[in-house]
Each structure stands twice: as structure tokens, then as C-alpha cells.
Amino acid sequence: MITGELKSKVDRIWDTMWSGGISNPLSVIEQLTYLLFIKRLDELHTLKERKAARTKQPMEEPVFGEDQQDLRWSRFKDLAPEAMFERVRDKVFPFIKTLGTGQEGEEDSTYSQHMKDALFMMPTARVLANVVDQLDGIDMADRDTKGDLYEYMLGKIASAGQNGQFRTPRHIIQLMIDMMAPRPSDVICDPACGTAGFLIAAAEYLREHHGEAIFQDAKSRRRFNEDTFFGYDFDSTMLRIGSMNMLLHGVENPDIAYKDSLAETDEDDEESCSLIVANPPFAGSLDYESTAKDLLQIVKTKKTELLFLALFLRLLETGGRAAVIVPDGVLFGSSKAHKSLRKMLVEDQKLDGVVSMPSGVFKPYAGVSTAILLFTKTESGGTEHVWFYDMQADGFSLDDKRTEQEQSDLPDILTRWEQRDGEEKERKRTDQSFTVPKQEIADNDYDLSINRYKEVEYEAVEYDPPKDIIQGLQKLEEEISDGMKELKGMLG
């Protein structure tokens, strides 16, 4: 979690930019991201310099050439405000826009594609100098610090974005990644990636659990940096932030592409990934004309949440896994499309689990009730039983403030998920988690809401006989009456 000191620093920087005239929260985040990126480039170059000096070998792939040393953060941060402003605007910012381009100027990376439309929007030299001075006091070497910093900045967008987009809490992302346990061989995709939170968490998981495998040789490193992570979005600002966010977290060239996932169809994408982790937007209804025809063949509907599930099934290779957030309506909706999609997941694929989340998880954005669906694409069935978990607490209060709490079900969810084919089968329906046979789900019209199967134990409460309660009330009334008489006597 972000510390109070770091939180105060970000608040001060935010206030500086706000008072300087940048009032759009996304613009603030975008401009801060550019500066954090510039600062991180200098830190990476410094690390390479030290390694070269230590090994007495030439520097490997320097970030800055001999004639670009004045573009480094450490070189311009102490300049006078006007001189700093001119250098960053006229030299440093154009430099970061060209990163990732080839010798002839062609775009080599998705990063360079998104950056070509980036704008330097710092209003004045004074504001830039003030922000640079404050950012210089934040140590960005720690990946956790970067993650916390980004999470807090994104959290300052206090209302939902367009098209039903909600920022997924970082701890929920981490839970889903831990449950999916990415492997070095996985091709990981988020078709509604936003700022790339799921992809970054997956990259961090691979580093922590499979570091030796993904960095054992040049081929493995290239696969990790270029052929593992794929993200799509149709918001160009989010794509720029997501690309820089991935770069800041050490993934050099992920495929973060502009695409309206529901409107475009690409045969190359079919069965292209082995793991999907996502929180797609729940925008309500779409126009049939703008929806990919192959998705409508899977499920005939205008509901975006159902269309995204159909998209996930199309993108996954056979044997591929998915952990995705859906609104509760997907679990029990009575329309033909809702029922047919649930039946498809249970009968044609392998539905592994459903984690029901409390409605406050997405506050302050919305109080919508959601669940995590976990399934494997098989095209041949395989569902024998479905594991259910009733999440009551996620470690934060469920009001708009979302303050940290001691109680959290997340560690228990992960432990019980790993036991879903063993001990969990013996759990009672009154427990917080349990399994339900496929046939019972089919008999209930493929309803996947946990309340359909959960049993509630009621404790017997014994009350006094009504006659005794009435006598007690009469005695109380007499005492009140006597008290009133005594009070009136005291008042004369």
C-alpha cells in the first residue's frame, strides 16, 4: 500500500498541476507519466553505466547517446525554470516520442505508435520546475513504489470513465493473477486493458515465480518482452499510459494496440492466447451494426458483458484459461442470450469457479455487484462441479472511502481455490465456499448466482411469553408516569 508520505507527495504534485491549469485528471496522469518515464530512463542509463564501469566492458544498449546527455533528468533537473522548460519541451519530449522507432523512422513498437500523438501540456516553466523538483524526491527504483504510485494517481479519478469503464482495484487484480498462476509459456491477453494493470501484475508474477526461465537466454527474454503480453483498447490516452506503464515495469515491447474489441474481427486473433485476465466495460447495449458478426454467431445479444465473454471464448486456444469480472446479471439473467451463454460455459467448456464479490468493491466509482468467472476453454465440456466462494471482505471498507481493514477473504480464497478438486468438495452449503455438481446447475436453468445454492443457518432465538412482555411494558409506563409527576412537582 502507498505510504502516507508518498501519498502526500503525490497530492502536492497533483495540486501544483491543478492550480497550474491542467484540470482534466487523465491529462494530469498522462503528463506525470511522461515525466516519470523520463526520470526512469535516466535511472536505467545510470545502472548501465555502473555495470559497464564494474565489468570494464562497453555499455550495453545505452538509453542516451553521447550527444544526448543533456536530455537526462539528472542534467536538466537543476536548470533555471525557463531553461528547463525549453529543454524538456523542445528536446526531451521529442526524444521520448521517437523511442522504439527504427533507423529509417518507421515505428518498431506499439509504444512509438501511441506516442506519435502525445502532447506536452505543461502550462508554464514554473509549474514544470515545481513538479520536477517534487518528483525528484520520489525513489522510483522499486517496482512496488511505481505500482503504488500509479494506483494512487488513477484512484484520484473520482468518477467512472466513459463506456462503463471502472478501474479494477489492484488487490483484486492480484487475486485473479494468483488464481490463474501464469506460466512462462503463456500468451496473456486483456482485450479491455486500460492502463494495463492486469498485464503488469501478470509480468510481476512471472518475474517472481519464473524469473530464471524467462531470463535464461536472449530468446527467452525476447519472448517475455515481445510475445507474451497483448492488450487492446480504443482510448488513445489509455493506450499511451498503458504502454509507458508497461515500460516503467520493465516490459520493453508489449503488443498494446488500438482496437474496438467488439467491433473488429481479425482471423489472426482467433485462438491466439492461452490466458485472459480482464475486467471488460459493462456499457449496456451496442448497435448490432457495429458488432463483430462472428461474436453474434456465438451469442445473439446487444449486451456488452455477454459479447465480451463470447470474445474471450474466440480468443482462447483450446486449453486456455480465463479469469474475468462480470456484473451479477450475467450469473442469473433470464434472457435467452444469458441462459445460452451460461449453458455454453457449463456444457461445452469447463466452468471452474465463481467468486461472488461484495457490491462495494468498485466504490467510489459504482456500487454494482460483480463476480469473478473462472473457466477453461475445452470445446468438449469437462465441467463436473463448479466451485463457489462468497467473498464478504476484500481488506477495505465497502463505503466510498475504501479505507484499509484487517479482515480480508483474499488469502482464504486463494487457498481454497487450490483445493477445489479435493477438500472443498466436502464443504457444506452453509460454508463460505463449496462446490455444486453440474447436474444441479443444469436443473436450475444454469443459474450461477451463489444465493441459489448457498444455505443459511438460522439460530433459534427464544423470547419471553407475550403476557410477560406486556406486563414489563406496563411497569415501564408506570415508572415513566411516576417520574413525570415527580418532575412536575419539582418545577412547582
Alpha carbon distances (Å) from 386 to 356, 372, 373, 413: 13, 13, 11, 14
17 and 140 share a domain? yes
Residue 138 inside a domain? The answer is: yes
The reply to whether 384 falls in a domain is: yes
CA 463 centroid distance within chain? 49
Which residue carries 481493514 as its cell?
405
Task: Return the CATH number at 317.
Answer: 3.40.50.150
Q: Do residues 105 and 228 share a domain?
A: no
Neighbours of 486 (CB within 10 A): 9
Do 138 and 243 lie in a common domain? no
Q: What is the pLDDT of residues 292-320, one digit of tens each?
A: 677 777 777 778 888 899 999 999 999 99
Residue 34: closest CA among 113, 151, 120, 144 = 120
Average pLDDT for 414-424: 96
149 domain residue, yes or no: no
Residue 468 lies in a domain: yes
Same-domain status, 471 and 372: no
Count of domains for the chain: 3
Q: What is the pLDDT of residues 183-230, one digit of tens each?
A: 999 999 999 898 898 999 999 999 999 999 998 898 999 999 999 999
Are both 198 and 223 inside the same structural domain?
A: yes
pLDDT of residue 207: 93
Examine the domain organization and report whether 361 and 428 are in the same domain. Answer: yes
In a domain, 485, yes or no: yes
143 falls in which pLDDT band (50, 70, 90)? low
In tens, the pLDDT along 72-100 reads: 999 999 999 999 999 999 999 999 888 76
* Same domain (yes/no): 178, 237: yes
In a domain, 151, yes or no: no
Whether residue 447 is contained in a domain is answered as: yes
Q: What's residue 350's pLDDT?
A: 97
For 151-165, 174-188, 259-273, 293-307, which range has the lowest pLDDT when averaged over its residues?
A: 151-165
The sign of the torsion formed by the CA atoms of 59, 61, 67, 70 equals negative
How buried is residue 46: exposed, middle or buried, by Cβ count under 10 Å (0-12/13-18/19+)? middle
Hey, what's the cell of 34? 511522461
95 and 71 in a common domain:
yes
Q: What's the DSSP call for residue 42?
A: H
pLDDT of residue 103 exceeding 70? no
pLDDT band of residue 7 (cuts 50, 70, 90) is confident
On whether both 310 and 191 belong to a single domain, the answer is yes
Same domain, 434 and 478: no
Beta bridge partners of 285: 303
Residues 353 and 375 in one domain: yes
Flag whether 457 is in a domain: no
Structural domain for 305, as ranges: 161-452
pLDDT tens digit string along 332-388?
999 999 999 999 999 999 999 999 999 888 776 667 889 999 999 999 999 999 999
* C-alpha distances out from residue 153 to 85, 159, 249, 370, Å: 24, 13, 16, 24
Cα angle for residues 267, 273, 332 (degrees, 5° grid): 95
Domain of residue 56, CATH code: 1.20.1260.30
Read off the C-alpha cell for 216.
535464461
